[in-house]
C-alpha cells in the first residue's frame, strides 16, 4: 500500500530536553551560543511533543495518514552517545510506536536527524571514524526494543545538509566552518548508515532506507563553465551521497582538487581525503529496500566566484517563493524522480518522498488558518509525483514536512511548515486548511 504520511524530527518538536535522563546533543549546545539562531530561539520546549504526543497521534488519526516519519533522539536512548542505555528514553518511543500502531499508522523512525550526542562531538563528531560504529551500536539498541513492531527504518536524514551546513559552513550544529575539510563527515555518516543497516537487519528490521536531500541542478546557461559548475554541484549535493549507497563507488571529485585513487597529479587522493578504507564501500552499498528522497526545490548553478568552490549558487528566478525564499517548482519533483531513475536504472530501489512541504507566514484567525498557498503547493507536488509514477518511477510513499509547525533549526520559530498550527506560547494545536485538504486527498487516494 502507498504510504501517505507526515514527517517530523525529534529536536524540532519534542522539547523536554532535560527530562527522563536525556543527554545533551550538539543542537542543545549550538542554540545556547549567542547569535547561532534567529532571535536566539531554542528547541528547549519546541512543540512540547514529549508531553503532548497523544494529542499528536490523535491529529494523525484525524488526518487519516497510514504512516508517520519521526526521528529518535540518540541522547534519550544513550545520553552519552555510547555506553549506558537509558530505558526511559526507549520507553517513550515504545509508547509512541504502540499508540501509532493502535491508530493504524505505520511508524517510520529515522535514527539520526542531526542531533548528535554532545559527548561524541567532544571526541570529534562525524569527523571521527569511531562514530560510525557507535551509531550502529545505538541502532542495535533501538532495534532490539522496537523491530518486532516497526517494519521500516531510516538510518540517516540528509547527510549532505548535516555535512555542508553543520561542518562545512557552520550555520547548523556543530557550527564548524571547515569547508572541504568537512568531507570525511560524508564518508563516516555513510559508513555509519551501512553498519547501522546491518544492525537493524540483525535485529529483525524488514525494510531499511536512507533519506537523502536531492535537488535537480540547473546550469545557469549553456556555457561550458556553467555546465562544468553544475556538474560539480550535482556531484557534491546528490552523487556524493547516492552513488556510494546505490552503486558502491564515490563520484569523481577532481573538481574539488581531489585525485582519483592512483591517479597522478597534485592534491590528495580520494581515499585519503575522505578516510575510506578497504571494505567500506561494500558495507555502504549493501542493498536497500528503498531510497528516501527529500525534495524542496531545484538549484541553479553558475561558474565559480573566488571562494575556492567550483560553483556559485545563481538562484532560481521566475518562480513564486515560499516564506523561506525557496522557489516553488512542483515539476522539479518529477524531474528529480525521473532523473534518479535515468541515472541509477536497475540500481534504484523503490523511492519514498520522505519530505516535501513549504513554509508560510500563516496567520491564526478566529476561523483558523487559511493556508491556501500550502494547499496549492501540496496539490501541485503530489500531481508531479503522480506524473513521475506514470513515467515509470516506482514511488511508494509521500510524507509532508511537517505535521506541526516546529523549530526550524537556524530560523527558530520563524518558518512555519505545519499542516497544524502551533501557538508556541501555549502549545495549542489548530489544524490548518491544508490539513483538511490532505485528509480529503488521502481518503480519496486510499478509497478501495
Active site residue 158: yes
Residue 157 marked ligand-binding: yes
Task: Determine which one of 14, 158, 207, 335 is catalytic.
Answer: 158
Contact with ligand PNW (CB under 6 A) among 401, 435, 437, 438: 401
Q: Is 33 annotated as a binding residue?
A: no
For residues 337 and 333, what is the distance between their CA atoms, to the nearest angstrom?
A: 6
Q: Which is nearer to ligand PNW, 82 or 215 (CB)?
A: 215
User: Least distance from C-beta 314 to ligand PNW, angstroms?
Assistant: 15
Q: Which is nearer to ligand PNW, 164 or 258 (CB)?
A: 164
Query: For the chain, how big is the Rg over CA atoms in Å?
Result: 21
Determine if 408 is a binding residue for ligand PNW (CB under 6 A). yes
Annotation-wise, does 401 bind a ligand? yes
Among 86, 213, 242, 356, binds ligand PNW (CB under 6 A): 213
Residue list 235-254, contact with ligand PNW (CB under 6 A): none
**What gap in Å lies between CA 48 and CA 16, rounded to an integer?**
7
Residues 294-333, interacting with ligand PNW (CB under 6 A): 294, 296
* Gap between the Cα atoms of 321 and 359, Å rounded: 10
Minimal distance in Å, beta carbon 300 to ligand PNW?
A: 13
Site for ligand PNW in 409-428 (CB under 6 A): 417
Using CB under 6 A as the binding rule, the residues of this chain from 350 to 389 that contact ligand PNW are 355
> With respect to ligand PNW, which residue has the nearer C-beta, 174 or 275?
174
Kindly list the strands in the beta sheet with 299-302, ordered across the sheet, starting from the edge strand earlier in the chain: 217-219, 299-302, 312-313
Q: Which of 233, 296 has the CB closer to ligand PNW?
A: 296
User: How many other C-beta atoms lie within 10 A of the C-beta of residue 368?
Assistant: 16
Whichever of 82 and 165 has its CB closer to ligand PNW, that residue is 165
Q: Other C-beta atoms within 10 Å of 247: how many?
A: 15
Do residues 368 and 432 make contact, with C-beta atoms less than 8 angstroms apart? yes
> 403 is written with which cell numbers?
505535521
Query: What residues contact residue 335 under an 8 Å CB cut-off, 6+ apart?
Result: 216, 298
Cell numbers for 356, please give them.
516535501
CB of 412 vs ligand PNW, minimal distance in Å: 12
Cβ proximity to ligand PNW, 41 vs 145, nearer residue: 41
DSSP summary character for residue 252: P
Q: Which one of 3, 9, 309, 393 is in contact with ligand PNW (CB under 6 A)?
A: 9
Closer to ligand PNW by Cβ: residue 106 or 213: 213
Catalytic residue among 14, 121, 207, 355: 355
Q: Is 193 annotated as a binding residue?
A: no
Cell of 298: 531545484
Buried b (16+ CB within 10 A) or exposed e, 411-422: ebbebbbbbbbb
Q: Which residues contact 412 (CB under 8 A, 6 or more apart)?
A: 37, 38, 39, 40, 41, 42
Tell which positions 130-169 bind ligand PNW, by CB under 6 A. Answer: 157-158, 161
Distance CA 300, CA 393 (A): 24
Nearest approach, Cβ of residue 164 and ligand PNW (Å): 9
| Backbone region of residue 412 per phi and psi (left: phi > 0; alpha: psi in -120 to 50; beta: other values) | left
The DSSP element (H or E) to which 185 belongs, if any, is helix 184-202
Contact (CB, 8 A) for 130 and 123: yes
- How many of the chain's residues bind ligand PNW (CB under 6 A)? 12
Distance between terminal CA atoms of the chain? 11
Site for ligand PNW in 277-296 (CB under 6 A): 294, 296
Tell me how far, at minimum, the Cβ of 401 lies from ligand PNW, in Å. 5
Minimal distance in Å, beta carbon 324 to ligand PNW? 7
32 is in an annotated binding site: no
415 is in an annotated binding site: no
Are 440 and 97 spatial neighbours (Cβ–Cβ below 8 Å)? no
- 55 catalytically annotated: no
CB of 236 to ligand PNW, least distance (A): 12
For residue 213, the minimal CB distance to ligand PNW (Å) is 5
> Is the link from the previous residue into 174 a cis peptide, with omega within 30 of 0?
yes
Nearer to ligand PNW, 31 or 281 (CB): 31
228 Cβ contact list (under 8 Å, min separation 6): 255, 303, 310
User: Which residue lies nearest ligand PNW, judged by its C-beta?
Assistant: 161
Phi, psi of 193 (to 5 degrees): -55, -50
Q: Are 73 and 115 in contact (CB under 8 A)?
A: yes
360 is in an annotated binding site: no
Catalytic residues: 158, 355
Binding residue ranges: 12, 113, 157, 296, 401, 408-409
Binding residue ranges for substrate: 12, 113, 157, 296, 401, 408-409
Q: Which residues bind ligand PNW (CB under 6 A)?
A: 9, 12, 157-158, 161, 213, 294, 296, 355, 401, 408, 417
Amino acid at each position: 500500500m502507498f504510504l501517505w504520511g507526515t514527517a517530523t524530527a525529534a529536536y524540532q518538536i519534542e522539547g523536554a530536553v532535560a527530562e527522563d535522563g536525556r543527554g545533551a546533543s550538539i543542537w542543545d549546545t549550538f542554540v545556547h551560543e549567542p547569535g547561532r539562531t534567529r532571535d536566539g530561539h531554542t528547541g528547549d520546549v519546541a512543540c512540547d511533543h514529549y508531553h503532548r504526543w497523544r494529542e499528536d497521534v490523535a491529529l494523525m488519526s484525524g488526518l487519516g495518514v497510514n504512516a508517520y516519519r519521526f526521528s529518535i533522539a540518540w541522547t534519550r536512548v544513550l545520553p552519552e552517545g555510547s555506553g549506558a542505555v537509558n530505558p526511559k528514553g526507549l520507553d517513550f518511543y515504545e509508547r509512541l510506536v504502540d499508540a501509532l500502531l493502535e491508530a493504524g499508522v505505520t511508524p517510520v523512525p529515522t535514527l539520526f536527524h542531526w542531533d548528535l550526542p554532545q559527548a561524541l562531538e567532544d571526541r570529534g563528531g562525524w569527523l571521527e571514524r569511531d562514530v560510525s560504529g557507535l551509531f550502529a551500536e545505538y541502532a542495535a539498541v533501538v532495534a532490539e526494543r522496537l523491530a518486532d513492531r516497526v517494519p521500516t527504518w531510516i538510518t540517516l536524514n540528509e547527510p549532505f545538509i548535516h555535512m555542508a551546513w553543520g561542518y562545512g559552513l557552520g550555520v547548523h550544529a556543530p557550527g564548524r566552518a571547515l569547508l572541504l575539510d568537512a568531507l570525511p563527515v560524508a564518508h563516516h555518516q555513510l559508513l555509519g548508515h551501512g553498519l547501522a543497516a546491518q544492525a537493524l537487519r540483525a535485529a529483525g528490521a524488514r525494510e531499511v532506507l536512507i533519506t537523502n536531500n536531492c535537488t535537480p541542478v540547473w546550469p545557469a546557461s549553456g556555457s561550458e563553465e556553467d555546465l562544468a559548475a553544475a556538474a560539480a554541484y550535482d556531484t557534491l549535493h546528490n552523487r556524493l551521497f547516492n552513488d556510494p549507497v546505490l552503486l558502491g563507488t564515490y563520484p569523481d571529485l577532481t573538481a574539488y582538487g581531489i585525485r582519483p585513487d592512483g591517479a597522478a597529479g597534485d592534491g590528495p587522493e580520494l581515499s585519503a581525503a575522505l578516510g575510506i578504507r578497504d571494505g567500506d564501500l561494500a558495507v555502504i552499498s549493501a542493498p536497500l529496500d528503498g531510497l528516501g528522497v527529500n525534495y524542496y526545490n531545484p538549484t541553479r548553478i553558475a561558474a565559480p566566484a573566488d571562494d575556492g568552490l567550483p560553483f556559485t549558487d545563481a538562484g532560481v528566478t521566475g518562480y513564486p517563493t515560499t516564506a523561506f525564499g525557496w522557489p516553488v517548482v512542483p515539476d522539479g519533483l518529477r524531474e528529480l524522480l525521473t532523473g534518479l531513475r535515468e541515472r541509477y536504472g536497475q540500481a534504484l530501489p523503490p523511492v519514498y518522498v520522505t519530505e516535501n512541504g513549504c513554509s508560510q507566514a500563516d496567520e491564526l484567525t478566529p476561523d483558523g488558518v487559511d493556508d491556501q498557498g500550502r494547499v496549492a503547493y501540496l496539490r501541485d507536488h503530489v500531481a508531479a509525483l503522480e506524473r513521475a509514477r506514470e513515467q515509470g518511477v516506482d514511488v511508494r510513499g509521500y510524507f509532508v514536512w511537517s505535521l506541526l509547525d516546529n523549530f526550524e533549526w537556524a530560523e527558530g520559530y520563524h518558518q512555519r511548515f505545519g499542516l497544524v498550527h502551533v501557538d508556541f506560547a501555549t502549545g495549542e494545536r489548530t489544524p490548518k486548511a491544508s490539513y483538511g485538504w490532505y485528509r480529503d486527498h488521502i481518503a480519496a487516494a486510499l478509497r478501495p
